[in-house]
Every structure is written in C-alpha cells, then in structure tokens.
Amino acid sequence: MDVVTVDDLELELRGSPRRRSLQVTVDRGGELLVFAPTGCEARVIEQFVRAKRLWIYRELERKKQLLPLAQTKEYASGEGFLYLGRTHRVILVDDQSVPLKLDEGRFKLLRSAAGDGREHMVAWYIAHAQPWLATRVERVSCRVGSAPRRIVVRDLGFRWGSCGKDGTVYFNWRSILLPPHAIDYVIAHELLHLRETRHSRNFWRGMERAMPDFRSRKEWLAENGHMVGM
C-alpha cells in the first residue's frame, strides 16, 4: 500500500494505467484516497492535493457531522463511554472528592458537575492517557527501535497522532478510547516516523518488522475508528 503525506493530510494512493487525471475522495469513514495515473510524479500529486485542501477539509467536516447520532452523548446515569475499547456506564452521584472517577467499572460523575460533563470526561481521558501511553510507548519502542523525547496528549482533530521535529510525539486524547491493539498500531506508526518521515517502502517494511499484523490493525482502525466520538 502506498501512502501520500501532504502536510497534515495522509492519503492512500491508488494508481491505475487507465487513469488520465488525478482525483481525491473522502470515503465513508473519513479515510482519504488519491487516484492517479500509474507513474505520476510525487510532486505532481502533492501539488494537486494542496490545491484541493480546502475541499478536503470541508468534506472531512461534513463526514464528521454525518456520524451516527448515537455518538451524541448524554452525561446521565446509564450512558456508556469507551475506555481502552470497553464501554463503562455512567452513574450520577451526590458526593465524591472529584468531579469524575472510574470506580468498579463505572464512571461516577458528580450530579452537580453533569452540566460540564464533557469537559470533565475529556480532562479525565487526557490525565489517564498520559501515563498509560507513556508505558505503552516504552514497550512498543523496543520493537520499533526508536523512542520519542517526550509525549503529549491533546486534541488532534482527525489525526490519531503526529510527530514534531524536536522528537515529540503527539497523541489524540481520543486514542485512549480505542482497544489496545489499535493504540499500539498508532504508537508504532508515529515512532517509525521519528526516523522515516515519509510513508516510503522503508517505512512500511519497518512497520512489518515491528508489527507483522499491522495491516489488520490499520484496517480495523479505518473501519471502526470514526465511531469513536463524544
């Protein structure tokens, strides 16, 4: 599989000898595809994608708005929220020392804090993602052969992760909602970018060495990742 990266956009490249022009599409799950004639130069494809960036961003936002209504969460007893791929139900409580905590398999949310439920939930995810990901990154880095200078958890929009030039790896806080096997794919992908900035053949060879089943994990993320929302 060939991938084209243009700034913050990542597109799967599909070439065809019958094609005479370039085309970009956004599929149902928000994955970006670029269709090109076989042998088309990389710089030509990148220029085309940059020229279509405004349209791409609009389509991505439209896809986001079309996600199932079931993703609109209520911060009330009985609502379910994902954490590491498992759903935990909310129960409203009248008294506890913090606005939100995970206890005995349930998210316990102060009734008085329910009006700001999303803010408390996102803050909880970020706080718990940071140490969990740090431990996981250390484990995966042994397989990949590269390690970040530091990790940062924040909102990255449609991206699961990204790399900074200073060796910092950024993870979307939503990644902590995914099951561990999918998070490990995201981690390995970003750690490899520390030494392979482009999705070259060497990059994908490195992924296969570090994670022989990375293709199935990538496919799972493409098919199910867009369902992770709040």
pLDDT in the model for residue 200: 81
pLDDT in the model for residue 69: 40
Regarding whether 178 and 162 lie in a shared domain, the answer is: yes
198: containing domain: 122-227
Regarding whether 180 and 134 lie in a shared domain, the answer is: yes
| End residue of a domain, out of 25, 49, 65 | 65
* C-alpha distances in Å from residue 3, one per residue of 35, 123, 125, 182: 11, 33, 30, 19
Regarding whether 131 and 173 lie in a shared domain, the answer is: yes
Closest CA to 77 of 65, 94, 96, 60: 94
Regarding whether 61 and 19 lie in a shared domain, the answer is: yes
Amino acid at 72: T
| End residue of a domain, out of 21, 45, 65 | 65
* C-alpha distances in Å from residue 17, one per residue of 40, 43, 48, 130, 162: 10, 18, 18, 46, 33
Regarding whether 29 and 59 lie in a shared domain, the answer is: yes
What's the DSSP call for residue 7?
A: T
Regarding whether 103 and 58 lie in a shared domain, the answer is: no
pLDDT in the model for residue 63: 67
> Do the beta carbons of residue 193 and residue 170 sit within 8 Å?
no
CB atoms near residue 135 (< 10 Å)? 9
Regarding whether 75 and 6 lie in a shared domain, the answer is: no
78 Rama class: left (phi>0) / alpha (psi -120 to 50) / beta: left
- Please tell me the total count of domains within the chain: 3
Q: Which residues pair with 32 in a beta bridge?
A: 11, 26
Regarding whether 75 and 55 lie in a shared domain, the answer is: no
> Do the beta carbons of residue 30 and residue 60 sit within 8 Å?
yes
pLDDT in the model for residue 32: 86
With b meaning 16 or more CB within 10 Å and e meaning fewer, what string describes 179-191?
eeebbbbbbbbbb
Amino acid at 225: G
End-to-end alpha carbon distance in the chain: 31
Kindly give the pairing relationship between strand 86-93 and strand 80-83: antiparallel
DSSP-assigned letters across all residues of 102-153: EETTEEEEEGGGGGGHHHHHHHHHHHHHHHHHHHHHHHHHHHHT---SEEEE
| Residue pLDDT tens, the chain, 230 long | 577 888 778 888 888 888 899 999 887 556 788 999 999 999 999 999 999 999 998 888 776 665 544 357 889 999 999 999 999 999 999 999 999 999 999 999 999 999 999 999 999 999 999 999 999 999 999 999 999 999 999 988 778 988 887 899 999 999 999 999 999 999 999 999 998 887 788 999 999 999 999 999 998 888 788 677 66
Regarding whether 137 and 213 lie in a shared domain, the answer is: yes
Regarding whether 97 and 134 lie in a shared domain, the answer is: no
Regarding whether 216 and 162 lie in a shared domain, the answer is: yes
Regarding whether 194 and 144 lie in a shared domain, the answer is: yes
